[in-house]
Amino acid sequence: MKSRHHLPHYRIAVVGSCAVGSYYGARLAEYGRDVHFLIRSGLEQVKRFGIRIKSRQGNVFVPKVHCHASTTDIGPVDLVLIALKSTDNSALETLIPPLLKPGTMLLTLQNGLGNEEYLAERFGPERVLGGLCFVCLNRETPGLVHHLSQGHVILGEFSGYPLPRTLEVQWEFKRCGVPCTVSASLGEARWRKLAWNVPFNGLPILSGGKDVARILADEDLAYLARRILDEVIGAARALGHAIPTSFADTLIQRTREMGPYRPSSLLDFESGRAVEIESIWGEPYRRAFNAGAECGRMEMLYHQIRHLTGERVHLN
């Protein structure tokens, strides 16, 4: 059992305990990792009842959870999993500092573009890793997450190529049953994910709430999804990411396998919560525009969604 002595014993903080934070935090806690959750709503409930994940891949129940109302209570850690909504990023300015010590890694599991940059500017680029979560989740109540499908994470370093610590974090996830791979280019990985998010988080909002299966079943929306997907891949290529154009087929195929999935942005939109407009549509559109890439479809999506969410706030 010699190899166990080489396992890292990370002290881990989870900031943002919506679906993604609760899910990956619980997966690590289930395997005995020292995981500390910052919980801003439902703290008492999670303290008393723990975290449950309903999943066809096997339910998870973590009865005893380290819950905290502030990051000062958590104190310095080795690894921070950031799963806050990107619309709440400004809160990180005060949430993160109490968690820092030399070498603390900030791993953002947030959606879209701009989150690594936000952390790097404030806490130093050398601390920042990015993780892309390919997972269909819905948080039903604090402490109860419905895991619908997938679950793997792609990790990368914000500053460049993978480091030894990147592989250590990867294995920490893998040893806890979370499929995890390391990407040599976090930027490329982010754009590969955006290629899906831009059309399949966007069109459900614009189409009055259609799930991805209904998007693919509608002649016009399926055509637009494919054309938007191609445009995002084209923008990524213009930005230097070598994503093959055939990747669009792969994504469409994977989407077919998701069934009637309702993306988190749609649920946010419908329930009046903030929608991650800038990280999913705004920042990718601006980067495509600045690179001189074709971006008319992304522009339409971005401004239409901005308009619609503005209207919605207006109505509430």
For the CB of residue 208, give the shortest distance to a copy of itself in the complex, in Å: 8
Residue appearing with tokens 């499908």: 149
Pick the closest to residue 109 from 144, 137, 85 (CA basis): 85
CA distance 207 to 142: 29
Closer residue to a copy of itself in complex, CB, 174/312 = 312
Task: Retrieve residue 299's tokens.
Answer: 């522009």
Q: Are 159 and 186 in contact (CB under 8 A)?
A: no
Query: Is 85 tagged catalytic?
Result: no
CA distance 69 to 42: 10
Range 228-267, binding a copy of itself (CB under 8 A): 231
For the CB of residue 236, give the shortest distance to a copy of itself in the complex, in Å: 16
CA distance 127 to 140: 32
Binding pattern to a copy of itself, positions 269-298, x when CB under 8 A? -------------------------xxxx-
CA distance 182 to 170: 7
Residue appearing with tokens 């994910």: 193
Residue 113: CB atoms within 10 A of its CB come to 23
Closer residue to a copy of itself in complex, CB, 166/255 = 255
Closer residue to a copy of itself in complex, CB, 8/296 = 296
For the CB of residue 219, give the shortest distance to a copy of itself in the complex, in Å: 8
Closer residue to a copy of itself in complex, CB, 19/224 = 224
Of the ranges 134-142, 144-152, 252-260, 301-309, which one interacts with a copy of itself (CB under 8 A)? 301-309
From residue 149, give the alpha-carbon distance in Å to each of 26, 64, 136, 199, 201. 16, 25, 5, 19, 16
Closer residue to a copy of itself in complex, CB, 62/221 = 221
Give the total of residues touching a copy of itself (CB under 8 A). 23
Residues 185, 286, 300, 312: which binds a copy of itself (CB under 8 A)? 300
For the CB of residue 288, give the shortest distance to a copy of itself in the complex, in Å: 11
Which of 47, 64, 85, 193 is catalytic? The answer is 193
Range 116-135, binding a copy of itself (CB under 8 A): none
Binding pattern to a copy of itself, positions 206-235, x when CB under 8 A? xxx---------x-xx-xx--x---x----
For the CB of residue 191, give the shortest distance to a copy of itself in the complex, in Å: 18
Residue 271 burial by Cβ neighbours in a 10 Å radius (0-12, 13-18, 19+): exposed
Task: Retrieve residue 76's tokens.
Answer: 């310095």
Closer residue to a copy of itself in complex, CB, 167/274 = 274
Q: Are 196 and 248 in contact (CB under 8 A)?
A: no
Q: Are 197 and 254 in contact (CB under 8 A)?
A: no
Q: Are 162 and 216 in contact (CB under 8 A)?
A: no
Of the ranges 10-18, 57-65, 100-108, 304-312, which one interacts with a copy of itself (CB under 8 A)? 304-312
Residues making contact with a copy of itself (CB under 8 A): 206-208, 218, 220-221, 223-224, 227, 231, 294-297, 299-301, 303-304, 306-307, 310-311
Q: What positions carry a catalytic annotation?
A: 193
